[in-house]
Amino acid sequence: MQTLQHPGHAQQPCPRPKVLSQIMIELECIGGTRTVTGSKYVLRTSQATVLLDCGLFQGRRAESFERNRALPVDVAQLDAVILSHAHLDHSGALPLLWQHGYRGPIYATPATRDLCAPMLADSSAIQASDAAHIDKLIARGVDIAPVTPLYGTADVIGTLELMVGLPYHRKQVVAPGITATLLDAGHVLGSAVVVLDIVDGNQQMRLAFTGDLGHVRLPILRDPEVPTGVQCLITESTYGDRNHGPMSESIDTLATTIAATVARGGKVIIPTFSLERAQEVIFALKRLRADGRLPHVPVYVDSPLTVKITDVFRLHPECFSSEMVEQLRSDDSPFDFAGLQYVSSVEESKAIDALTGPAVILAGSGMCEGGRVLHHLRNGIEDARNTVLIVGFQAEHTLGRRLVEQRRDVRIFGVMHPRNAEVISLDGLSAHADRHDLLDFAQRVRNAGSVASPLRQIIVVHGEPAAQDAFAATLRADGFANVVVPTPMQRIILATSHL
Ligand SMILES: [Zn+2]
């Protein structure tokens, strides 16, 4: 029997006999199409099956729970999983794979692997506390269906045992006929563009999957790397229908918003994704403080997860831009400044709400769907002196999206509140490429193509319908002939031939 050696694992038998009359390389989009969550793409050849990402669906609670619980992946057929980055909409369903019996390797960069430990543990803890909260509501007579957590600590630990660190640029055979190489995606710490060299019978192709692509010139990370010789590009399109304002403009707005809020005695509440948004905002605040543009008010990072993740950042200077590496050489930590306090305990968190003076509060979750930011919003949303500053993408049906839409009333912990606080959105600090960046990346991939076998197909995923369709139209207008916008569960044939 043919065997395949995975680093850190015993030799594993190759799963299926290969007696086929037809070669077919196909991609099935299980999640992460017509939506920005639930990223899951199955690549099948006649010899192997590889899963790209295994993310959680997020949005309306009951609907998301059902979609997450039903995992339409046959783990017995799966040779390997490759994870583009640690955000939960890409990684958060990995423990379900373990629960369903998957015991093969999960490849990711070493930084992504390290980030998944706190991220998945936090996801499991949030599910447990959500379930407990709903049980309490039911006990009080509220008519609501009980939920059980999707997975627990044992599933998270089992998942982490499967994770194999694959550094950028190192070629790794991940399944029969499939070699993976990870390039820097510049989106969050450890994020990767996944490049797959696929050989199946007489078919041979190079496929690149962007995962989430970074906004160019982010202060902490390097810009995305462009793969060469690609025939099929699977690209995200989160911001495929709009361009961000310049980052300098967003930094200016950050400074003026904080100054105005402090002047009227209010608090600035910044819902932040613990991974990357928080560190980018902390770094921006540090610069403003150094430039004398940040008033001398306390700045709280009220998120135990952010504290843990910031520690992981300190362990991975290999992922940083040269400017950041230079700063790390000095004793001046990029994630600390006078007046900044990291808050872990619940008591300290409650004490922040009891403060009456101005302050800047960063807290998760980034889309206001859970976490401590909900407590700060509940206490602060009705006070017209306060500001909610939105710095990341807000998916449909989330509280964050309703705030961005400037709704007059919002529901927090099941209770409607009049929204008197100001809401300001800053998209220039986004970790995602905008339309210009995405098109530029696709053009560079085309320009770096092989003359004999050029880029022949672009599959546009990971966007809400308007963004996916707009970006597909942009690509077609730029001369890309074969642009596909898949529907959920659609199978796309990438190559086929009869033997
Ligand atoms: Zn992401």
| Ligand 1 center to 358 CA (angstroms) | 32
| Ligand 1 center to 133 CA (angstroms) | 28
| Ligand 1 center to 188 CA (angstroms) | 7
With a threshold of 0.85, does the pTM exceed it?
yes
Print burial letters for 144-165: b (CB count within 10 Å at least 16), e (below 16).
eeebebbbeeebbebbbebbbb
Assigned CATH for 247-425: 3.40.50.10890
| Ligand 1 center to 94 CA (angstroms) | 15
Sign of CA dihedral 34, 61, 403, 341: negative
| Ligand 1 center to 189 CA (angstroms) | 10
* Residue 12 confidence (pLDDT): 43
| Ligand 1 center to 2 CA (angstroms) | 36
| Ligand 1 center to 350 CA (angstroms) | 30
| Ligand 1 center to 300 CA (angstroms) | 24
| Ligand 1 center to 356 CA (angstroms) | 35
| Ligand 1 center to 165 CA (angstroms) | 19
| Ligand 1 center to 479 CA (angstroms) | 28
| Ligand 1 center to 461 CA (angstroms) | 13
| Ligand 1 center to 84 CA (angstroms) | 9
| Ligand 1 center to 241 CA (angstroms) | 17
| Ligand 1 center to 55 CA (angstroms) | 10
* Residue 82 confidence (pLDDT): 98
| Ligand 1 center to 143 CA (angstroms) | 35
The tokens for 173 are 């055979």
| Ligand 1 center to 85 CA (angstroms) | 7
Low-confidence residues of the chain: pLDDT under 50: 1-19
| Ligand 1 center to 90 CA (angstroms) | 7
* Residue 274 confidence (pLDDT): 87
| Ligand 1 center to 377 CA (angstroms) | 24
| Ligand 1 center to 186 CA (angstroms) | 10
- Same fold yes or no, 20-242+432-498 and 247-425: no
| Ligand 1 center to 64 CA (angstroms) | 18
| Ligand 1 center to 432 CA (angstroms) | 8
| Ligand 1 center to 138 CA (angstroms) | 34
Question: Where in the chain are the domains?
Answer: 20-242+432-498, 247-425
| Ligand 1 center to 259 CA (angstroms) | 30
| Ligand 1 center to 76 CA (angstroms) | 28
| Ligand 1 center to 353 CA (angstroms) | 30
Residue 376 near residue 302 (C-beta atoms within 8 A): yes
| Ligand 1 center to 119 CA (angstroms) | 13
Assigned CATH for 20-242+432-498: 3.60.15.10
| Ligand 1 center to 234 CA (angstroms) | 15
* Residue 499 confidence (pLDDT): 55
| Ligand 1 center to 294 CA (angstroms) | 29
| Ligand 1 center to 231 CA (angstroms) | 24
| Ligand 1 center to 266 CA (angstroms) | 31
| Ligand 1 center to 278 CA (angstroms) | 13
